[in-house]
Structure 1
């Protein structure tokens, strides 16, 4: 999705000089230390009703992102998910990397935070379980 967002697209454009097309491309000027991606899980129906979107989204553990000043590598460190079938109700939970272990630990130790209940999990498990409910993704940039 991020690659599609940054892909160059052709636009219809009427210029005084006679040109009829132009193009635009979104890009990062500078890459942030933490990249926060918001997945739009809600949409309006034809009758202007708010509806939740359950379309699966494969969560990438690692991203390589280009910018005007070069590229950067990011690792997924947290996921916020919305559980529920409607937009006006439901429950939010969070999965996050154990900060004491770090991104490169082979144990892949994460935690799921569900109100007062905290359980141990893995990043791989969180990515598998949240493909239909992930809402906000947090990626941390690797320092070169």
Structure 2
């Protein structure tokens, strides 16, 4: 019955389902939404998770709101945070580097609440002007 639905185009599964069904790695979900916590282990763990999920054609959405803003105090080092944007550049470049198994380019969206102190710079991430180290041309933002 399911075969008839698919073959008659009455139902179409998501792209990851089509790519991965019947393979040794049967990751069939389309999208993965996560919240990144405010510590390096969580930040780079999320980037690693993004890479592994993207490898099998999963789309990614990360909420970066908990990560401290530019200039915020870092208790452990007594330094100041560089904010969310430099980490988003790494996420952007990871999505480009891990291209969903050669089938299509990686897809990632970063979310930041409007009250976050980095929101103004966040809204300019996709602009063609400014410091390229603080731009993410391949990432969606919301």
Larger Rg computed on CA atoms: 1
Q: TM-score, length-normalised on structure 1?
A: 0.28
Q: Which has the higher helix share?
A: 2
Greater length-normalized contact order (CA 8 Å, ≥ 6 residues apart): 1
Q: Which has the higher strand share?
A: 1
Q: TM-score, length-normalised on structure 2?
A: 0.28
